Amino acid sequence: MSEFVVSARKYRPSTFNTVVGQKAITSTLKNAIKNSHLAQAFLFCGPRGVGKTTCARILAKTINCFNITENTEACDQCESCVSFNENASFNIHELDAASNNSVDDIRNLVDQVRFAPQVGRYSIYIIDEVHMLSSAAFNAFLKTLEEPPKHAIFILATTERHKIIPTILSRCQIYDFKRIQITDMVDYLGFVAKSEGIEAEHDALHIIAQKADGAMRDALSMFDQIVSFAGNKLTYKAVIENLNILDYDYYFRISSAALESDIPSALVIFNEILDNGFDGHNFINGLGSHLRNLLVCKDISTLQLLEAGQNIKDKYMEQAQRFSQEILLRAINITSRCDINYKTSKNQRLQVELALMQICSLTGSQQQGEPEKKNLINSPGSVSTPLKPEKKEIVATETVEKKVEFVIETPSDSYKEVKESSPTVYKKIISGTTSINAATTVKSEIKETENENSITDKTIEQKNFTEEEMIAVWNNYAALQKNTKPSIYAILTRNIPALKENFLIELNIDNSMEDASLNIEKIELLEYMRKQLLNNGIQLIQKINIAVDTKKLYTQREKFMHMAEKNPNINKLKQQLDLEID
């Protein structure tokens, strides 16, 4: 039985050109070697499995090579290269700082630095996981790192750069390794599969690359694991079964159910997912990512943001055309709120099911054939209220110089006509500065069209209301929050709002914590108030009650007089004992 070597070691890059996904760094290092601009100390930092230690070894091997190629690579044939490949080089030293992190270990290293190399030009010291060194070890290393002998080069590698003291960082040439792109990982996994004689589906390799999260070593480890499970044929199904990943098909089925407003089907699919052992929180996060992928497929310029295999991309493109951008945005918002509330919820399954029901309800009006409500005049913060179209009359009751906008329907060609959604309805917008006399009446008759009930926001934008009506709507909103947001309910019911001029609602609250909580709720509260009171000009202002300490400091005599008033016997006791009050 032949000895098995894991792919991460067997296919570890041995030249700069074979390093995956770090072209900028390898090009810089090659140019430094070619131009003899080598630093005294290098620091390679970045996440795990992206090639830091590998590049350190390639750099050490190349700069000591006797016959560097024209492409600035090691020849692999000279004495130095051969000894390095056989792990027998006396000029390249590796130290694991995770297990050799004491000050004595660094002192021993400093003692070795003084000796010149036996073969080659440089003695190279590779210190892996350098952030694990103790503070005393770092300090013992400082002087040598700043002024090493000409023959010494230090290459430090770490995954946690922030743990290295600034005095060390300032003495190193720093290289930041990035996470490896999914496309690069898929290409390299395809090369490994071909070299091993394994037939691998492109979508299967893509899933492995996504799961690896930018770490090539992790991807190769998962590749070996799945090959042990599936044999010489690597399929998409084998990958999702072995790595316990939710199949894309579940999300496409959920999306199809949402398009058809089929709540029962969505709940049944979710139950199937739970029965297969998947977590509800992972599912809702995956659904959010799925909806995001559908959204980026809506525009050709964002299609490059979709990271999936070609077959999966085709499915996304097809389904994305059936969703509107507005529905996708609202659905993503629902999944985001569910993700936030999931851990704090006592009934987590119900939390996910509620999100699914809300998503399925988004397309209900479209499936029933209801036309989209449109405003004749668009204004910031306007509220669209469905009312029965009938003859409307706008009356100005005072003379004032102001800008007026009227909506008048007219068949005349002399007016500027703007065609609305119904071909029989037109509007004319007259804008300007004019003086309006009292009792001036402008009449506008809006025709009723089939399946369309809409009026302009201007007719409801500034409707008057009383303080009693405002408080009643306020209390209704508070009651709606009683079960879901008890803290907001307490704030709204404990403090009675007051109606000021220009539809300004003033609320006195007790402290800054209440103020912060109300600021979060303010948008939904104002939207509810404006809609119920038919007034878009409503604003809310909070004022914090500043408690002023009005306690008075009493003298000893004043305290005694106060006590004597309540109990005359105290005064008699003072006289009998011949006491004096200071």
Q: What's 199-238 look like in SS3?
A: EECHHHHHHHHHHHCCCHHHHHHHHHHHHHHHCCEECHHH
Q: How far is CA 294 from CA 132, 313, 324, 360, in A?
A: 44, 10, 10, 16
Residue 305: CA count within 13 A, CB half-sphere:
13
Rounded to 5 degrees, φ, ψ at 463 are -70, 135
User: Does 108 or 511 have the greater pLDDT score?
Assistant: 108
> Which residues are CB-contacts of 225 (< 8 A; sequence separation ≥ 6)?
242
161 DSSP 8-state letter: G
Least confident piece of the model among 122-126, 490-494, 543-547, 555-559: 543-547
Q: d(Cα 33, Cα 30) in Å, to the nearest integer? A: 5
> Which residues are CB-contacts of 263 (< 8 A; sequence separation ≥ 6)?
257, 356, 357, 360, 361
23-43 as b/e, with b when 16 or more CB fall inside 10 Å? Answer: eebbeebbebbeeeeeebbbb
Please return the burial class of 130, using the count of CB atoms within 10 Å of its CB with bins 0-12, 13-18 and 19+: buried
Looking at residue 332, its pLDDT comes to 92
User: Does 412 or 504 have the greater pLDDT score?
Assistant: 504
Nearest CA to 504 among 537, 527, 469?
537
> Which residues are CB-contacts of 293 (< 8 A; sequence separation ≥ 6)?
306, 308, 316
Beta-sheet pairing, 539-544 with 426-436:
unpaired
Residue 7: CA count within 13 A, CB half-sphere:
24
> Which residues are CB-contacts of 57 (< 8 A; sequence separation ≥ 6)?
84, 92, 126
Q: Is the pLDDT of residue 428 over 80?
A: no
Residue 577: CA count within 13 A, CB half-sphere:
9
Looking at residue 157, its pLDDT comes to 92
Contacts of 115-119 with C-beta under 8 Å, sequence gap 24+, read 116/149, 116/151, 117/64, 117/90, 117/91, 117/151, 118/90, 118/91, 119/64, 119/79, 119/80, 119/83, 119/89, 119/90, 119/91
> Which residues are CB-contacts of 355 (< 8 A; sequence separation ≥ 6)?
284, 334, 335, 337, 338
Place of tokens 């000050």: 103
Residues found in the chain: 582
Looking at residue 2, its pLDDT comes to 57
Please state at what angle helix 348-361 crosses helix 248-259, rounded to 10 degrees: 50
Q: Is the pLDDT of residue 33 over 50?
A: yes
Q: Residue 379 in contact with residue 536, Cβ under 8 Å?
A: yes
Looking at residue 582, its pLDDT comes to 66
Task: Provide the strand spans (E) within 301-420.
Answer: 392-396, 400-408, 418-419
- Where residue 546 falls among pLDDT bands split at 50, 70, 90? low
Looking at residue 334, its pLDDT comes to 92
Beta-sheet pairing, 173-176 with 41-45:
parallel
Summarize the confidence of residues 469-491 as an average pLDDT.
86
Cα diameter, the chain:
117
Q: d(Cα 462, Cα 456) in Å, to the nearest integer? A: 12
Summarize the confidence of residues 285-300 as an average pLDDT.
88
pLDDT digits (tens, 9 = 90+) for 452-478: 444 344 444 578 888 888 888 888 888
Q: Residue 170 in contact with residue 141, Cβ under 8 Å?
A: no
The number of beta carbons lying within 10 Å of the beta carbon of residue 576 is 8
Q: Is the pLDDT of residue 198 over 70?
A: yes
pLDDT digits (tens, 9 = 90+) for 53-110: 999 999 988 998 888 888 888 888 888 888 888 888 888 888 888 888 888 888 888 8
Least confident piece of the model among 378-392, 484-498, 523-537: 378-392
List the structure tokens of 536.
């878009």
Rounded to 5 degrees, φ, ψ at 312 are -70, -40
Q: d(Cα 202, Cα 311) in Å, to the nearest integer? A: 9
pLDDT, mean over the chain: 78
Looking at residue 392, its pLDDT comes to 40
Three-state secondary-structure class, residue 274? helix
Rounded to 5 degrees, φ, ψ at 400 are -155, 145
Q: d(Cα 457, Cα 443) in Å, to the nearest integer? A: 16
Please state at what angle helix 512-533 crosses helix 486-494, rounded to 10 degrees: 80
**What single string gives the DSSP state of each residue in 401-416?**
EEEEEEEE----TTS-
> Could you give the domains of the chain?
7-176 (3.40.50.300), 182-242 (1.10.8.60), 248-367 (1.20.272.10), 392-459 (no CATH), 467-544 (3.30.300)
> Which residues are CB-contacts of 35 (< 8 A; sequence separation ≥ 6)?
none
pLDDT digits (tens, 9 = 90+) for 569-580: 888 888 888 787
Place of tokens 């999966």: 312
Q: Is the pLDDT of residue 419 over 80?
A: no
pLDDT digits (tens, 9 = 90+) for 338-359: 999 888 888 889 999 999 999 9
- Where residue 36 falls among pLDDT bands split at 50, 70, 90? confident
> Which residues are CB-contacts of 535 (< 8 A; sequence separation ≥ 6)?
460, 461, 462, 463, 464, 465, 503
Q: How far is CA 122 from CA 92, 145, 153, in A?
A: 8, 15, 7
